[in-house]
Amino acid sequence: MTHLRILVSGISGGLGQALAARATTHPNWELVGLARRPQGFEIEMDVTWSERRILQALSGIGPIDALVCLHGADIVSAPMRQAPFLERLQVLYEVDVAGTVKLLRATLPLMKPGAPIVVMGWDQATLGVSGEAGELYALAKGALTSYAKSFAAGHLNQVTVYIVAPGWVMTRWGQSLSPQRRARIASRTRSGHWQTADEVAQVVETLLSLPPTVVTGQVIYVNRGDVMPS
């Protein structure tokens, strides 16, 4: 089995921990985590750092076989949920958009030909969602999705880009809600269920094993068919 070195941002989050758990079933996988507050062997990184500082943090890590960007700003929990609209937009831009752009640019020279890159979109990003949080996430995830598609087109023979776009996933924010609110959100979905972090991690796991550049620049919706954007 080929050894796979997979660089993962957002390793401390719900999806990051789910992917780390799946990695234990792959003896040939080596996850190299990026974390703002390393707890063990992760590399310290805040994706809002300057491009130069990010490059410094990654210097000397050697070649990598895959990049999975699971970082993302939380603008729906306290204290950010009370911040002015444009402040929340700025945070989403700095973390989800510019943070991912910097990571892709910094890691491109470290990648082997065809290496998979996973970035995180949102299944409703292009649907028109009412409410401030919907507007903000649509702005950020829509921008990131467009960028990732262009990055895929511009580096066809270098990397394979997947945009994973989940619906509601039970991670930190979902777990912080009351059972009633969780049930209300689930009842608004077609399936009546939240995704589990492990379900999304399984999709990422599958994408990492596909042959290079067969599918690139595509959005993969992970939402039990809740919404199916064209």
The owner of tokens 């700025």 is: 90
Let me know: does 66 contact 115? Beta carbons within 8 Å.
yes
Q: Are 145 and 163 in contact (CB under 8 A)?
A: yes
User: Site for ligand NAP (CB under 6 A): which residue of 166, 208, 216, 226?
Assistant: 166
Burial 88-122 (b: 16+ CB within 10 A, else e): bbebbbbbbbbbbbbbbebbeebbeebbbbbbbbb
Residue span 67-96 as binding mask against ligand NAP, x where in contact by CB under 6 A, dash where not: ---xxxxx--------------------xx
Give the one residue of 6, 7, 8, 14 binding ligand NAP; rule: CB under 6 A.
14
User: Which of 14-22, 102-110, 155-163, 205-213 is the region at the interface with ligand NAP (rule: CB under 6 A)?
Assistant: 14-22
CA–CA dist 69, 27 (Å, integer): 21
Strands across the sheet with 29-35, in order? 43-44, 29-35, 4-9, 66-69, 115-120, 159-166, 218-222
Beta strands in 54-171 (DSSP E): 66-69, 115-120, 159-166, 169-170
Closer residue to ligand NAP in complex, CB, 35/213? 35
Site map for ligand NAP, 26-45, x if CB under 6 A?
----------xx--------
Q: Which is nearer to ligand NAP, 8 or 158 (CB)?
A: 8
Q: Which amino acid is at 170?
A: M
* Position of minimal CB gap to ligand NAP: 13
* Separation of alpha carbons 76 and 57, rounded Å: 29
Q: Which stretch binds ligand NAP (CB under 6 A): 4-12, 54-62, 102-110, 209-217?
A: 4-12
Give min distance, CB of 217 to ligand NAP, in A: 18
β-partners of residue 163 are: 119, 219
Q: In angstroms, give the least distance from the CB of 203 to ligand NAP.
A: 12
CB of 118 to ligand NAP, least distance (A): 10
Interface contacts to ligand NAP, rule CB under 6 A:
9-10, 12-16, 36-37, 46-48, 70-74, 95-96, 99, 120, 122, 166, 168-169, 171-172
